[in-house]
Structure 1
Amino acid sequence: MKRLCQVFKSPKREEMYLYVDKARGLADVPEALLQQFGEPRAVMVLMLDPARKLARASAAEVLEKIEAQGFYLQMPPTEAELLRRDRADG
């Protein structure tokens, strides 16, 4: 299943993103989450299918969450993830 997605960045937390169906926009995102997320900043539109590679998330999982709840919230990396990333870069 392919879906045209819009990705928004949080102005409050580094590396926090919301993925939504482009046609629905932010309509399905709970108000409480939007308040914690901050004013969403659109950063990209992409055609997502389960085989697509994403940097920090499984495309299949993103699509499943959007289908089930209307959005996917990508949280910032944990300290352990940051350490692994630093070791891989260095």
Structure 2
Amino acid sequence: MHCFVYASLRKADTYLWLARRDDFGVLPESLVLMLGDLRFVLEVELHPGRRLPMEDARTVLEHLVTQGWHLQLPPSETLATANHPAYTHHTPHDSEDE
């Protein structure tokens, strides 16, 4: 699959992968607000066996096929720790078992 990668100018080391170039209309508004301005950085042919330095190619491909985009956050950050409003999955706290 041919895909396109953009760097967030607001959040360091945060990248947005798109299935179609400049197809920002597929993004949730909250994600657009979080990322701010984007800079095109890479056009790449992606397949399940391709090795990526920070992401699993199969996961990226799955997201591109199902939603048209994939968000790559810095290794130590998740949507939950980024306090991202689009994060809707809540996990139970371990402290509740005490």
After superposition, the C-alpha distances for 1:30-53 in whole angstroms (9 at most, x for unaligned) are 121011101111101001000111
After superposition, the C-alpha distances for 1:5-40 in whole angstroms (9 at most, x for unaligned) are 000000111110000112572221112101110111
Whether 1:52 and 2:53 are equivalent positions in the alignment is no
Structure 2-normalised TM-score? 0.72
Paired amino acid for 1:68: T
Structure 1's consecutive aligned runs of 4 or more residues displaced over 2 angstroms after TM superposition are 22-25
Contact 2:20 2:68 in 1 (8 A): no
Alignment of 1:1-12 (within 5 A): 3-12=1-10
Equivalent position SS for 1:56: coil
C-alpha separation in 1, matches of 2:62 and 2:40: 21
After superposition, the C-alpha distances for 1:46-78 in whole angstroms (9 at most, x for unaligned) are 010001111100111000011111110011121
Contact 1:6 1:44 in 2 (8 A): yes
RMSD, matched Cα: 1.6
Alignment of 1:36-47 (within 5 A): 36-47=34-45
- Gaps (5+ residues) in structure 1? 80-90
Task: Report what 2:66 is aligned to.
Answer: 68
C-alpha separation in 2, matches of 1:76 and 1:23: 22
- Count of residues paired in the alignment: 77
Equivalent position SS for 2:75: coil
